[in-house]
Structure 1
């Protein structure tokens, strides 16, 4: 079943073309906390990621994003970026999931105290 999914879907990991190109030309550079694997060509001119599971670009952490876009030459496995005490860990985009942010008063927010509106609606007499 997994083999059939690889053939028929592009959002479930690497496509056949990407897998073949990675096998022939790719040098594994590292892996992030989510399980995504990062590759580059021998000369370092091309860099790409093979996503673990669904291909969602927001899974890529800022450190790896900078490396993928040639902002810095060293991958985070060799030269990790300094972290500030106030920085939070990277979280992928949760929009459309149960973990998405829903402000107070939203109709999608879990049951809880309802927020009073900022205005009173006008009704004609």
Structure 2
């Protein structure tokens, strides 16, 4: 975060909550609550990366809802916990045979037949 963002947050921001990743969410002090109310923003913990914002906080940031998300999420059985985009990190998925995953993969199983043109 830059010094200017930090200073603006100290002077004009009211802390609303924090998510499970440590990101902190603010709204403008003194602004009326609701969709017509002032600005809303996030101060990221670590590198600023938009995919770190969970869906419930994304709804609040973009004024889809006025309800501030609670710590108790009550996820449905079919919902998975939010994960940030891991592309470009060491935790990114690399399929077998990828250069950064050892560059080795299993031999073909014989269900593939190469095409050859009729001469």
Q: Structure 1's 24 and 59: CA in aligned 2 closer, same or farther, altered over 3 A?
A: same
Structure 1 unmatched runs, 5+: 1-13
TM-score by length of 2: 0.77
In terms of mean alpha carbon deviation, does 64-73 or 36-45 score higher? 36-45
Structure-2 change in CA distance of 1:17 and 1:109 (3 Å): same
Q: How much is the aligned-residue C-alpha RMSD, in angstroms?
A: 2.7
Q: Classify the secondary structure of the residue corresponding to 1:70.
A: coil
C-alpha distance after superposition, 1:12-57 (max 9, x if no partner): xx21111111011100000011101100012142000001111111
Counterpart residue number, 1:31: 18
Please tell me whether the aligned partners of residues 105 and 115 of structure 1 are also in contact (alpha carbons under 8 angstroms): no
Residue number among 94, 102, 106 corresponding to 1:102 in the alignment: 94
Hey, what's the Cα distance between the residues in 1 that align with 2:38 and 2:60? 12
Which ranges of structure 2 fall in alignment gaps of 5 or more residues?
Answer: 32-36
Residue of structure 1 equivalent to 2:85: 93
Normalising by structure 1, report the TM-score. Answer: 0.74
- The answer on whether the counterparts of 1:104 and 1:115 sit within 8 Å (CA) in structure 2 is no
d(CA) in 2 for partners of 1:107, 1:120 = 24
- The residue number in structure 2 matching 1:4 is none
Does the 8 Å contact 2:96/2:103 carry over to 1? no
